[in-house]
Amino acid sequence: MSKQAILAIDYHNIQQPLNLKRQILLFDKIIVEEQSLGLAKTFVNYTPNRNLESFKFNNQEIDFLGAEGYLSIETINRPINVKIDSDEEKFMETLRNESEEINTLLAVLKANPSSGTLTKLMGIIKKLPTSFARALGIRLREEGNDAYPVFDDEPDYTSSGKKEDVLKFLLKQIPEPDDSVSWEQIIDFRNDPDTMKKYYALIKWVNDVSQKEFNTNEIEEEYQYLYHDYSEQYRIHKMKHKQGIIEVLVTAAVDVFIHNLGAGHISSSLFALWKHQLNLLEAEAKFTGREVAYIYKLEQTLKKA
């Protein structure tokens, strides 16, 4: 099942880097709540020190990802019939109250415009996208989607290890590609067969850890152990692999020069090189910590970009 990130977009962060490339490197699809996006576009004109360049850039990226099928705009305008726990019920009640207060303030602002009413209104609207994202997550999971809201704040080290917490932690580990890395490169990386295999292993780890009673601090410790174990094994084995290739190439060159050997010997050397590469792949498949190999590969790929 594809992983979906629900972004909480407001009139402030739509003028800041939304880091959509990083989102797509962890999630299969980005979901944006329709009302939040509409409010953000409307009230951005009321914010001081507007960054219209970033605002325009973000809208262009949203449109591009929508056209490519990596982003969709959804709404929560329908009843949520899924059975929810008491905490979620309290949240839904808060959301209803905030929506009613917004309608009241809009009516007051229309009848008698004042800076105080506008400030109070924008304060509520600033918080509302977070509530909309959570409500949309409930609706989408009710329909069988693996969708979770993603908020750009620090991990909560006291929370329980639900899938949302694990994904939120992992998103912090994904490096943000710079502007020189194109969307085409991001998509090619995601579609690479070896990358896909490593990505599915990472998602399996997410599912496994989500079933445990880990808090965020324990999730981080588990991740760091796996990551450093894998990266060290990969580094050592890569050094041995390079040494083996050099030995094959040097031996082949010396034999050809001294003994004037023909194409048959060159073919044997190429076979030896292929065997070295195969040995690396076989060894990598047995490395401990390979559950997080996707992130290690992503880091190495971005360093070369």
pTM of the model: 0.74
State the DSSP string of 161-193.
Answer: --HHHHHHHHHHHS----TTS-HHHHHHHHH-H
pLDDT in tens, 29-47: 999 998 889 888 888 877 7
Residue 274, token pair as written in the block? 């292929």
Rounded to the nearest integer, the mean pLDDT of the chain is 78
Among 19-23, 161-165, 168-172, 215-219, which is the least confidently predicted range? 161-165
Q: Kindly state the average pLDDT of the residues 172-195.
A: 92
The helix (H) or strand (E) run that includes residue 120 is helix 115-142
Per-residue pLDDT, 42: 82
E strand spans, 133-245: 146-150
Phi, psi dihedral angles at 275 (to 5 degrees): -65, -35
Q: Which residues pair with 215 in a beta bridge?
A: 160
Task: State the sign of the Cα–Cα–Cα–Cα dihedral 12, 17, 19, 20.
Answer: positive
Q: Helix or strand or coil: residue 17?
A: coil
pLDDT in tens, 86-104: 556 666 677 777 777 777 8
Go through 133-149 and write b for each residue having 16 or more CB atoms within 10 A of its CB, e for each that does not. Answer: bbbbbbbbeeeebbbbb
Residues 6+ apart with CB under 8 A from 6: 31, 32, 33, 133, 136, 137, 140, 147, 148, 149, 150
Share of the chain above pLDDT 70, in %: 74
How far is the first Cα of the chain from the last one, in angstroms, to the nearest whole number? 30
- Cα angle: 167, vertex 172, 176; to 5 degrees: 120
Is pLDDT at 261 greater than 80 in this prediction?
no
Report whether 142 contacts 82 (CB < 8 A).
yes
